Copies of this chain bind each other. A is one copy, B any other.
Amino acid sequence: MTRPPLLIESPQNPQFKLWESALDGRGLKKNGKFLLAGLKTVPEALRQHPDRFERLLFTDPAQIAGWRLPPGIEPVQLAPALFRALDVSGTNFPLLVGNVPRLPVIDLNQPPQGLELLCALGDPSNLGALLRSAAAFGASRVVLLEGAAHPYHPKCLRAASNAQFSLTLLRGPRWAEVNAAAGPLCALDGGGTDLTRFDWPRDLRLILGEEGQGIPADCPALRLSVPTTGHVESLNATVAVSVALFARFAAIR
């Protein structure tokens, strides 16, 4: 006989409080649980990355009628108010609870492996968009410098479309130490070499400037730029890096 799913109705329930802590960076760091939401991303993650998750949260049993859950993922029913508190994007669709993987610390004295992106993007939506493009265009490692948003923040997950699960995410040092990283080092910059004429090495560290600030002047990276008409002063930062990643992907594949 199948057990009926656990039902949680109290906002004081310790499990619920644990999941609630996944809604901000501090709780994510402290408790190591994250919440995945999304009509496309939740079924895809269940299919492709079941080992990352341990609970499926829902409020109305009709939401999961006909779902086959992999072993190791337990369904948990929440009172409507509790579910809504966790479903911050308002998907009204089951949520997955996962375990935040340990992010190893990179040793930047070692040479890069494949295309490594180094960034300190503090806005979780911007970081998520970057991770999505990184996964789409074959940047296998993303190094999160001090000050970067948490990669499992709900807004980052929402923007990344499950990119977290196919990338290797690493923790990096503070910004100032990047200058001493082993190369080749490149950075995007409006005044740099046209990247369509760049001969992309197989292994490379691509450094992304901070939002609105760019790359420190003393950073010894080769500056690359996306060619444009010049009709706007600069590209959106996510667009610029996505175009660079695409250009490399199209050139080397």
Contacts and interface: CB of A to CB of B under 8 A. Distances in A.
A166 B232 CA distance: 8
Contacts of A231: 135-136, 163, 166-167
**How many copies of the chain does the oligomer comprise?**
2
A217 interface: no
Contacts of A233: 40, 44, 161-162
A137 interface: yes
A132 B249 contact: no
Interface stretch (A81-89, A145-153, A235-243): A235-243
Contact of A227 (B44, B162, B196, B249): B249
A227 B160 CA distance: 18
Number of chain A interface residues as a range: 35 or more
A236 B133 contact: yes
29 contacts: A40-B233, A44-B233, A129-B239, A132-B232, A133-B236, A133-B239, A135-B229, A135-B231, A136-B228, A136-B229, A136-B232, A137-B228, A137-B229, A138-B229, A159-B236, A160-B232, A162-B232, A163-B232, A167-B231, A196-B250, A227-B250, A228-B249, A229-B249, A236-B238, A238-B238, A239-B242, A243-B243, A243-B246, A246-B247
